Amino acid sequence: MAWLDLRSDTVTRPTTGMRRAMAEAEVGDDVFGDDPTVIRLEERVAGLLGKAAALYVPSGTMGNQLALRAQTRHGDQIVCEAGAHIVRYEAGAPAALSGLLVTTVHDPDGALRWDLVEPVLNNPADLHAAPPSLITVENTHNRAGGRIVPQALVAEAGARAHERGLKVHLDGARLWNAHVAGGLALDRLAAPADTVSVCFSKGLGAPVGSALAGPRDTIARARRIRKMWGGGMRQVGILAAACLYALDHHLERLAEDHDHARSLVERLDNQRLRPLHPVETNIVILGVQPPATADGLLVYLRAEGILAVPFGPDRVRFIPNLDVDAAGIARVIAALNAWRG
C-alpha cells in the first residue's frame, strides 16, 4: 500500500524534470557572489515581489529571522498575531537571536488588524518599555487554516505602521498560494511590507530553500548576518535551479492543491469530524468530536496508509500537495468517512 503523506506541503519530492534541472545547473561560489543560478533566482524573486533585491536562504525560518535582525535592535518590541509561525514554530528565535520582545494579538482569522496592534504598542519615549520597531504579518496563515489575509487589512496595517516609523515584515511562506487562489499579483500582495520572505520547499515542491526580499541595504545587511549564522553556502545553484524550475512549472498548479482541499471538506460525511476554518487554499484543519481524539484518528489513518499531523488534542491538519493526486484525495476522503472513532 502506497503512503499518502498530507502532513505538510514540505514533504514533496523533486520531480524528474526538477532533478534534471538541478543536475544541469550552472554553479559558482555563492559566498563570493558568483553563482549565476542563485543570482538569476534572486533577481527573479525580487522582480516578482516588487522589491529591489533578494537573498536565497536555506529555510523560511532563517528568512524570517534575518528580516527581524536586519531591521531591529536588541531590546526592541515586535508585534505579530498569536498563532504566527514566527512565534509558534521558530524555537524562540526572535529572543535568542535578536533580543526582541514579542507581543502578540489574537485574531481567529490570523489577520494582524491595526485596531488590535495599536493598543499594544509601547510608548517609544518610555524608558521602562521596549521600543516598538516592527510588525509582522503571515499570509497565508497556517494555524488559521491557510486563510488569505484580506489585502485591505495588510495595506492598512502597513500604512499605519509606517506612519509610526515601524518596519513591516511579511511572512509569505505560502504567499504563492494567496496569489493563485486570490488572483492578486505577487508584487501587490507584497507592497505594504518592507521585507517579504517566500518559501520554495512547500507547495512549489523544491527540496530546499526560501528567499528574503526587500530594500538593497536591508538585504545587504541580511546577507552579512546570514554568513554569521552559518547560512553562507557555496555551489548552491544546484538548489536554486530547483526553485527556478518550481516557479516555471509548479506555481499555477497550486490551484490543484486548493481544489483537493475543498474536495476533502465538501465530500466529508462524518459527524465526528468538522472543518474548523473555511478552505481558501491548501490547508484543512478538522476538529475531532469527543470522546474521540486526534491521536485516535491519526492511529487509524496510519493503518490506512495516510499521514497527517495533530494540531492539538482535538484537531488534525491535512495539506494536499504535489505528491497527492485526485485518486489519493479520494482515498483520504473514503477513509475519513469510514472512521468510527
Q: What is the pLDDT of residues 11-36, one digit of tens each?
A: 999 999 999 999 999 999 999 999 99
Confidence at residue 173, expressed as pLDDT on a 0 to 100 scale: 97
What number is the average pLDDT over the span 199-210? 97
The span from the CA of 106 to the CA of 120, in Å, is 12
- Which own/partner contact pairs does 223-232 have at CB distance under 8 Å and 24+ positions apart? 223/55, 225/66, 225/69, 225/70, 226/55, 226/57, 226/62, 226/66, 227/31, 229/62, 229/65, 229/66, 229/97, 231/57, 231/58, 231/62, 232/30, 232/31
Kindly state the cell numbers that stand for 93: 528565535
> Can you point out the beta strands (E) in 15-131?
53-57, 77-81, 101-105
Rounded to 5°, the CA angle 34-21-206 comes to 90
CA pair distance 336, 304, nearest whole angstrom: 10
Per-residue model confidence (pLDDT) at position 1: 65
Looking at residue 199, its pLDDT comes to 98
Whether omega for the bond prior to residue 293 falls within 30 degrees of 0, making it cis, is: no
Q: Where are the domains of the chain?
A: 14-249, 253-338
What is the predicted pLDDT for the residue at 229? 96
Residue 222, pLDDT score: 98
- 248 pLDDT more than 80: yes
User: How far apart are the C-alpha atoms of 141 and 193, rounded to whole Å?
Assistant: 16
pLDDT at residue 2 greater than cutoff 90: no
- 8 A C-beta contact, residue 69 and residue 219: no
pLDDT tens profile 48-86: 999 999 999 999 999 999 999 999 999 999 999 999 999
Residue range 108-120: mean pLDDT, rounded: 93
Tell the CATH topology of 14-249. Answer: Aspartate Aminotransferase; domain 2 (3.40.640)
Instruction: Tell me what pLDDT residue 85 has.
Output: 96
CA distance linking residue 30 with residue 281, whole number of Å? 34
**Per-residue pLDDT averaged across 267-276, rounded?**
95
What is the CATH code of the structural domain delimited by 253-338? Answer: 3.90.1150.10
> Is the pLDDT at 159 greater than 70, yes or no?
yes
Q: What pLDDT shows up at residue 312? A: 86
**pTM greater than 0.75 (yes/no):** yes
pLDDT at 237: 96
CA distances from 82 to 59, 104, 257 (A): 21, 5, 26
Return the H-helix or E-strand segment holding 258: helix 254-266
